[in-house]
Amino acid sequence: MYLFYNLCFAGASVLFRLGYRIRVVGRENLPKDRGYVLCPNHLSAIDPVFVILARGWGHPMWVMAKEELFHNPFLSWFFRKIGAFPIERGKGDKTVLNNAIASVRAGRSMLIFPEGTRNRKGEGMLPLKSGAFVVAQSAGADIVPCRIIYRGGRQHLFCTVTVAFGEPIPLESLNLGGEHAASKLRAAKAVLTERIGKLYEENRQYW
């Protein structure tokens, strides 16, 4: 899998850097010695490619992707080979979640779009889903906020794409679980939304 992933990474790196200007901010914030849950905003179907390229070389980044992408047999095979796995939106698939949790607990990085779907307006953030927090809490992992910014507000060929990684949000600071779990989860979602929004404010000159 690593060989196939790295070959795809190399090919995508060449193609996408020919077609886009990719600017990376805060790569040093990504933990190198432990698993983590990476949470970007979601604007375009090819957001995962930009995030993975911005992260750089290394072990495959596991990606939680919508189930519809896996209906085509070839695409299903390809996505699985590069570290993506399907989840049906709006349904709690325990097997999928358990596999994601085990991967992060084993020290792998997990890419989850907390909005659950693309924000086609590109403004602000959609209400966050709970999956990223469930994985982080169960795996004992920090959450890393990430902001994708397309110059002009939308993705198009030859545009400038900024991928900004924020400082990790320590799991213990979110205080998830236990009594009043629902209110704690709402507060954690507000924290992540604010941190992703802050990355936009810090890099808004590239909007």
What are the DSSP calls for 129-186, one per residue? -SHHHHHHHHHT-EEEEEEEEEGGGS--TT-EEEEEE---B-HHHH--SSTTHHHHHH
- Tally of residues, the chain: 207
- Residue pLDDT, tens place only, 191-204: 999 999 999 999 87
Percentage of the chain beyond pLDDT 70 is: 96
What is the structure's pLDDT at 92? 58
More confident residue, 85 or 10: 10
User: DSSP states of 36-74 as a string?
Assistant: EEEEE---STTHHHHHHHHH-SSSPPEEEEEGGGGSSHH
What is the structure's pLDDT at 91? 60
Q: What is the pTM of this model?
A: 0.91
- Residue pLDDT, tens place only, 134-192: 999 999 999 999 999 999 888 899 999 999 999 999 999 999 988 889 999 999 999 99
Please determine, for residue 93, whether its predicted confidence score (pLDDT) is greater than 90. no
What is the structure's pLDDT at 177? 86
Please determine, for residue 98, whether its predicted confidence score (pLDDT) is greater than 90. no
Going by their DSSP bridges, the two strands 142-150 and 160-165 should be labelled as antiparallel
Which of 78-87, 91-100, 132-141 is least confident?
A: 91-100
Look over the chain and give the mean of its residue pLDDT values, rounded to a whole number: 90
Report, as an integer, the average pLDDT of 45-73.
Answer: 89
Confidence of residue 83 (pLDDT cuts 50, 70, 90): confident
Which of 11-15, 38-42, 122-126 is least confident?
A: 122-126
Contact of 111 with 44, CB cutoff 8 Å: no
